[in-house]
Chain A
Amino acid sequence: MTCDVCKNNQATVFLTQIVEGKMQKVNLCESCSKEKGVSDPTGFALADLLLGLGAAQEIERSGGMQKCPTCGFSQADFKKTGRLGCSNCYETFNDGLGGLLKQMHKGTEHVGKVPQRLLKSLERENQMKELQRNLRKAVANEDYESAAQIRDQIREGEVPN
């Protein structure tokens, strides 16, 4: 049996994990098991390793962007580490991650705690974007009365409270 990671060497380490009744098996060679921390059982969660494998397939299938424009993290990096580069990677690799998160978690949407201060600033950002859009529309329609109103609203919103 060959190693699932390098697909090269003879596998000598066999791992089995049961997650929500689903059995997952991984076969590793000596050097890959060391690299993945399997020889050191304390620091090792099989899920991480499986994440690396499953994630690679998911992301390749999606054929999404090669690199995160914010941090330069690539699919290959994700494949190698099972970790992402920055919070924007969630947008960059969204297509592949979606399926992965679905397999991994109970749901696909966060229903827990929301940081209140951040939420307010996000809402304001969205409101401003909406106003800018309306302003452009009004100008394009030569509806200068509305445009002036919207412009005032934007000015008001820009004043930090």
Chain B
Amino acid sequence: MPIHNILTNPGEWLRGDGPHNQIVISSRVRLARNLRGFSFPGWAKKTERLQILETIKARVEELTEMADAHSVYSQDLSALEKQVLVERHLISREHAAKGVGSAVVLNKRQTLSIMINEEDHLRLQALRSGLQLKSVFKMIDKVDTALEERLDFAFHPKLGYLTACPTNVGTGMRASAMLHLPALVMSEQINQVIQAVNKIGLAVRGLYGEGTEALGNLFQVSNQTTLGEKEDEIIARLHKVIEQILEHEQNARANLLQKQATKLLDHIGRGYGILRHAYSMSSKEALNLLSFMKLGIDLGFFNEQCRQPIDELFMETQPAHLQKGTQQKLAAEERDALRADIIRTKLLNFPLPDLRTARDQPTPPAE
């Protein structure tokens, strides 16, 4: 299947029907693996990198999981196409910077992404919507097991899987979830949550890296360490912490509704008004306002039919997604105008927020 199809179709995780998907946008697990007897990609000479690439690519394409996959060499992707894949979290920013000697293999549903010659020879990633770290790990573990039958991985009995960066050695696993936490931000509890999570050895980042004020109130929570703990223990610990954050967010929402209803309604109403009527909008402003819309839908101020268009806008208003339909690269001002156009069009038939129908209480977390 041509890469064009992948770029124009949203992946499974963007349709968002996984468990707890109102707050947990996506779950992701990636494994770092290297071949025995070769230099790591950052140190290998070009001929060695090409040899590694062809060896791995052939083995990856044999996998039954990858039967409908598309492989593409890094040099065959334009900068814009790479950026689209970055915005969808299908390749890393580091991988987007690679040229000859690297490739990515993506399955049709865009739930599996295998980067070849990123920082490590292999970066295996599985990505699904909602909170389902366990099943996402199972998915990628199966791929890893199938690959280790075909390839000799660099493994040390004491240190585990050997990786280019010592921060990944051991399991080579980084598990993460993307959370939407507008109420914790609005009620100024988010820093407390981040500190508490940091204390137990997990990392919290914004959608775009470090810093507490995350764009669109989106936060990534992930494990920080990879040595000395089993994969399923790491996953279980992370899962538990995310469930707790989920509960805090739900409590914060209930609290805002009870005690600061006017402030909450004002945010949502203003977000609606600006999105509906603006003619120029930066991606930062768009993400932050869309976050309020999403919260408004979660709380019942808008009907459920509004959910999908808003979720789609989170992605469609990102710089590369915005430009993938246009012929030439747009200047920042042109992008902002186009972004506002797309949002206005999509919101054209949106009903006014019905501020009286707000649900009394958000449901407490399951399990």
Contacts and interface: CB of A to CB of B under 8 A. Distances in A.
Interface stretch (A3-11, A102-110, A131-139, A149-157): A102-110
Nearest to B162: A87
Which of A47, A85, A109, A115 counts the most B-chain CB atoms under 10 A from its CB? A115
B160 A104 contact: no
Contact of B227 (A47, A71, A81, A108): A108
Given A101-B166, A118-B152, A113 B36 contact: no
Q: Is the interface on chain B under 10, 10 to 19, 20 to 34, or 35 or more residues?
A: 35 or more
B167 A51 contact: yes
Contact of B155 (A45, A81, A108, A114): A114
Q: Is the interface on chain A under 10, 10 to 19, 20 to 34, or 35 or more residues?
A: 35 or more
A85 B198 contact: no
A1 interface: no
Which of A21, A97, A113 counts the most B-chain CB atoms under 10 A from its CB? A113
A29 to B, nearest CB: 19
A87 B154 contact: yes
Contacts of B37: 87
Interface string A10-21: 000000011111
Nearest to A116: B148
Contacts of A97: 166
B271 interface: no
A41 B211 contact: yes
Interface string B227-263: 1111100000000000000000000000000000000
Interface in B141-161: 141, 144, 148-149, 152-161
Interface string B49-64: 0000000000000000
B285 to A, nearest CB: 18
Given A46-B210, A55-B166, A115-B148, A83 B42 contact: yes
B40 A84 contact: yes
Given A20-B201, A41-B208, A83-B43, A112 B166 contact: no
B130 interface: no
A106 B228 contact: yes
Interface of A: 17-21, 41-48, 51, 55, 71, 73, 77, 81-87, 90, 97, 100-101, 104-118, 122
